[in-house]
Amino acid sequence: MWRLRASQVLFATMSQEDAIAAFVDTWVLCYCLSHFLERGNGQEAFGPHQAIVTESNGAIVKEAERIARSFLDEETFNKAKTYVEELAAKKPHP
């Protein structure tokens, strides 16, 4: 059930016409998932596989940041990352 819901949210996020908005929303979703898996109700959602899921999501967050850096200058990237982290902290459940 969790995977289905996450897939639906990700698809809706990425299907926006504005590519930048879709990217930022996807980046926020990755951070929301990090909060959920590491500090929220999802801390034990995957039992003995929790570390694998958390590490995989961490790799996705790093890839999102790599993509952001490819089209943002350093100052804009830092501001955007702060915005994304703060927004994700307000709504930590994906």
Query: Alpha-carbon distance 7 to 1, whole Å?
Result: 10
End-to-end CA, the chain: 13
pLDDT at 18: 86
pLDDT at 40: 80
Report DSSP letters for 49-78, one per residue. GHHHHHHHHHHHHHHHHHHHHHHS-HHHHH
Query: Alpha-carbon distance 7 to 15, whole Å?
Result: 12
* Under 8 Å between Cβ of 84 and 31: yes
The pTM of the full predicted model, rounded to 2 decimals, is: 0.77
Residue-wise pLDDT for 32-90, tens only, equals 888 888 888 888 988 999 999 899 889 989 999 999 999 999 999 999 999 999 988 88
